[in-house]
A = this chain, B = another copy of it.
Amino acid sequence: MVPDPNVYFAKTLEKGLIILGLFDKDHSRRTLSEISRLAGINKTSTYRLVNTLVLLGYLSKNARSKALRLGPKALLFGHTIVQGYELLHMVKPLIDEAHRLCNVTIDSTLVDGQTLLALYRREASSTFFFRQPLASEDLHARATGKAVLSRMDQSDLETFLAKAPFKKFTPNTIDQASVLLRQIEEDRVRGFSINNEEYLQGLICIGAPLMNFQTGKVAGAISFDLPTNEYTVESLISTYAGQVTKLANDISELVTMNES
């Protein structure tokens, strides 16, 4: 018999996590009212939750302005959690090794619903820095995104297309479903995807999907990112296609093992 779904769900915990998650790169300081409004929690309850987080050290409150920000405990907590993600430690040595051999920036992402989550990234010292998103729904504009789409099942793909805003990042960004579909069909066949300055000017990438071999479902993707002044689409493919797909295959085995 299935129990009342409310009995084994702690709403207070959910709310607390929502509040903590409100602090990110672009919002390192927040006020109580702001939190209350954004989280949709009444002011007193927000006060209690925030107060709890302050007492525990996850948040710190400026005595005068009352402004809230993440505390040292949150920093440790975040680090600990990321390090506790098992797959990260399985994937890291493979990517590090490939990075050493190829000296390119390598990015790995996991798919969670319609979202790409950053898993591990190793930057080539030469590559210029760009701000990489931790979570992205712009699958149409990234090599990893297109790699994932190329192995998505029909229904998920339709869901994606129905909601996809096709946000335009550069002149090269694909903004039509028909073009995208044609491309990912090609990617599916050849096993890798290309991002030719579609996300950021000057950046050309080659991606390959990560598969769970047991379930046959796509689990994420990796990409090699390079500067356009050193590579063309053709030279990128001839140089790296073999290595990306090889690495993706190796990582896929880990993913499969990990998820079973």
Segment 81-120 of A: residues with Cβ below 8 Å from B: 81-86, 88-89, 110, 112, 117-119
Contact A84–B28 (Cβ < 8 Å): yes
Which residue of chain B is the closest to A58 with respect to CB atoms?
Answer: B17
Question: What are 21 A-to-B residue pairs whose CB atoms are below 8 Å?
Answer: A8-B52, A9-B51, A12-B16, A13-B52, A14-B56, A20-B81, A23-B80, A23-B81, A24-B84, A28-B86, A69-B86, A70-B81, A72-B110, A75-B88, A75-B110, A75-B119, A76-B118, A78-B85, A79-B118, A79-B134, A83-B134
Interface size class, chain A: 35 or more
The 3 closest A-B pairs by CB, nearest first: A78-B81, A13-B16, A28-B86
Contact A82 B79 (CB under 8 A): yes
| Contact mask for chain A residues 19-41; partner B; CB cutoff 8 A; 1 contact, 0 none | 01101110111000000000000
Q: Counting chain B CB atoms within 10 Å of each CB, which of A23, A24, A82, A134 scores highest?
A: A82
Q: Are B72 and A10 touching (Cβ within 8 A)?
A: no
For A20, what are the chain B residues with a Cβ–Cβ distance below 8 Å? 77, 81
Q: How many angstroms between the C-alpha atoms of A235 and B89 in the bound complex?
A: 36
Given contacts A10-B16, A52-B14, A83-B134, contact A72 B24 (CB under 8 A): no
A interface with B by C-beta (< 8 Å):
7-10, 12-17, 20-21, 23-25, 27-29, 47-49, 51-53, 55-58, 69-70, 72-86, 88-89, 110, 112, 117-119, 125, 134-135
The answer to whether A78 and B78 touch across the interface, beta carbons within 8 angstroms, is yes
Residues of B contacting A77 in the complex (Cβ-Cβ under 8 angstroms): 17, 20-21, 78, 81
Cross-chain contact of A76 among B13, B74, B117 (Cβ < 8 A): B117
Q: How near does chain B come to A42, taking the closest CB pair, in angstroms?
A: 14
Which residues on the B side are within 8 Å of A21 (C-beta)?
77, 80-81
Distance A55 CA – B7 CA, assembled complex (angstroms): 13
Given A24-B83, A70-B85, A85-B28: A75 and B117 interface contact (C-beta under 8 Å): yes
